[in-house]
Amino acid sequence: MMKMVSYCAPLEGGDSMVKAIGICFMAISCGMIGFYKSLEFSERLHNLIHLKRCFLLVRGEIRYQPAPFPELFKRVSTKMEKKYQQIFQELSSELQKKEEKEFSEIWSFVWEKEKYCLSFQRDDMEVIKTFGETFGYLDKEMQIQNLEYLIEQIEGQIQDAKQKKQSGQKLYQTLGVLGGFFLAILFT
């Protein structure tokens, strides 16, 4: 028995060390989760700003060099950020398949497929999808008006994202750090 106590004694010191490391690790992880969640706000804002830029490019092309959508999307995609480049190229190839689908169906299908890499909220997606229902309808003037309305709506979403970023980012970061501390205290 004595032998065992003397054998376990140094282990007790090591145990508390492991515990301390574990608690630190947990606290840091909680903090990081908070930071990671807060980054989604920046990501959404960044993507919305670039989305607006994409549609400004589309509007410019339609205004000065009207072309069928597959060609137009392919052409403007070269000037876009990689994520959007992929989306617009996919739109271009889907539109050329001629599978007896409506334009709005193809539009929604592609954006829905790619939404996970964009950190968009449901209402951001709603704005994009609603636009697809009227895009391509009637003449050039109508397309430009539609795009202007969309750009205006995206601008609204950008303002919303900015506000949410300000409040939400701090909230998640604080929650993460505080959660970490709380757990650390709880387990100490």
Contact footprint for other proteins (CB under 8 A): 62, 66-72, 95-96, 98, 100, 103, 106, 136, 138-140, 142-143
Compute φ and ψ for 36, nearest 5 degrees. Answer: -65, -45
Q: Which is nearer to other proteins, 17 or 67 (CB)?
A: 67
Q: Which is nearer to other proteins, 111 or 120 (CB)?
A: 111
Cα–Cα distance, 117 to 40 (Å, whole number): 11
Cα–Cα distance, 54 to 31 (Å, whole number): 35
Compute φ and ψ for 68, nearest 5 degrees. Answer: -55, 150
Residue-level length of the chain: 188
Q: Which is nearer to other proteins, 44 or 59 (CB)?
A: 59
Q: Which is nearer to other proteins, 21 or 67 (CB)?
A: 67
CB 88 within 8 A of CB 54: yes
Q: Which is nearer to other proteins, 70 or 168 (CB)?
A: 70
Q: How far apart are the first and last CA of the chain?
A: 29
Residues with Cβ within 8 Å of 123's Cβ and at least 6 positions away in sequence, in order, are 157
CB 102 within 8 A of CB 68: no
Measured from the CB of residue 63, what is the shortest distance to other proteins in angstroms?
11
Burial (CB < 10 A; 0-12, 13-18, 19+), residue 39, is middle
Measured from the CB of residue 101, what is the shortest distance to other proteins in angstroms?
10
